[in-house]
Amino acid sequence: MKGNVRKIAIFGATSAMARGAARRFASEKAEFVLVARSAEKLDAVKADLLAFGAARAETVLCDLSDVAAQAAALDAVWNALGEVDAVLVAYGSLPDQKACEADTALAMREFANNGSSAIALCNEIGKRLEAQGRGCLAVISSVAADRGRESNYLYGSAKAALATFVDGMAVRLSKKGIRVIDVKPGLVSSPMTAHLKQGPLFASSDKVGAGIAKAIADGKTEGTLYLPGIWALIMFVVRHVPYFVFKKTRF
Ligand SMILES: NC(=O)c1ccc[n+]([C@@H]2O[C@H](COP(=O)([O-])OP(=O)(O)OC[C@H]3O[C@@H](n4cnc5c(N)ncnc54)[C@H](OP(=O)(O)O)[C@@H]3O)[C@@H](O)[C@H]2O)c1
């Protein structure tokens, strides 16, 4: 078993990256509780993981942007699994930046879906892992968190809020034997980006999912993790480009 990761909860389990990660544990006979908002897609993910060898896969329907509804999903997870070895928070949506500029209510809904609702969820997961005294939480934020770009700064700012929260949580819970990983993927081919032109910097969701699974299983990764690793270097440069140069780039 990968690093003794046997019992896994995935919030946003219908994500392509999450599926890539989950398959690695399924082939080692892991048990899953899969949380997402589409029953049809959840059933497909469940069938996929059982086909890959999962010992068990339960599904829980929840629109995770509804913070009040998260409590029931969390209870369902812990009731089904008892103690949880690893939790992956993978849900998110890529908003239309222009539409968000025009419609503040839409912008705030997107901010909630990508930022504040995920922070609420992670806060509750943190409490439960702390009560267990062990476990690993991996949360997918994004490289978009590292610098506001003209083309997607609403999404980027929500992911930045999430990433900063998760980074701080990682430091606090590290002292209690719990690992928290802020996963920052670069460009990944998935349903979320299917409408974008796929250039050489795009990685497959399966490859990035495998990287997430490896980090969860290795028993030592915590804090920020860029995937693929080249994005650590790319974003170091992007963060340090002076504003007067940055505003002329098309990045
Ligand atoms: N693809 C990229 O280039 C990229 C880069 C950096 C970070 N990310 C982040 O990586 C994560 C996974 O994305 P992905 O690339 O795997 O794309 P994806 O396959 O489109 O996955 C996103 C998933 O989030 C789910 N979701 C969205 N809002 C939800 C809600 N309120 N409640 C429950 N589920 C919800 C979607 O469910 P439905 O299908 O039901 O809508 C979908 O399954 C996201 O957090 C994304 O922001 C992606």
Retrieve residue 168's tokens.
């701080």
Q: Are 184 and 145 in contact (CB under 8 A)?
A: yes
Q: Between helices 117-132 and 67-81, what is the axis angle to 10°?
A: 30
pLDDT exceeds 80 at position 3: no
Q: Which of 11, 17, 149 to mutate to test the pocket of ligand 1 (most atoms within 8 A of CB)?
A: 17
Q: Closest residue (by CA) to atom 17 of ligand 1?
A: 192
Per-residue model confidence as pLDDT tens digits over 98-119: 999 999 999 999 999 999 999 9
3-state secondary structure 6-42: CEEEEECCCCHHHHHHHHHHHCCCCEEEEEECCHHHH
Please state, in angstroms and rounded to a whole number, the distance separating the CA atoms of residues 157 and 149: 10
What is the value of pTM for the model shown?
Answer: 0.98
Query: What is the per-residue pLDDT for 2?
Result: 55
Q: Closest residue (by CA) to atom 45 of ligand 1?
A: 92
> Which ligand 1 atom is at minimum distance from the Cα of 91?
24
4: confidence class by pLDDT, cuts 50, 70, 90: confident
244 CA from centroid of ligand 1 (Å): 33
Query: What is the per-residue pLDDT for 167?
Result: 98
Please state, in angstroms and rounded to a whole number, the distance separating the CA atoms of residues 180 and 182: 7
Burial of 220 (0-12, 13-18, 19+ CB in 10 A): exposed
List of domains in the chain: 2-246 (3.40.50.720)
Q: Closest residue (by CA) to atom 39 of ligand 1?
A: 14
> Which ligand 1 atom is at minimum distance from the Cα of 14?
43
Per-residue model confidence as pLDDT tens digits over 54-97: 999 999 999 999 999 999 999 999 999 999 999 999 999 999 99
1: confidence class by pLDDT, cuts 50, 70, 90: very low
132 CA from centroid of ligand 1 (Å): 28
> Which ligand 1 atom is at minimum distance from the Cα of 190?
15
CA distances from 33 to 10, 60, 105, 124 (A): 6, 7, 32, 17
With a Cβ cut-off of 6 Å, ligand 1 is lined by 12, 14-17, 36-38, 41, 63-65, 90-93, 113, 140, 142, 185, 187-188, 190-193, 205
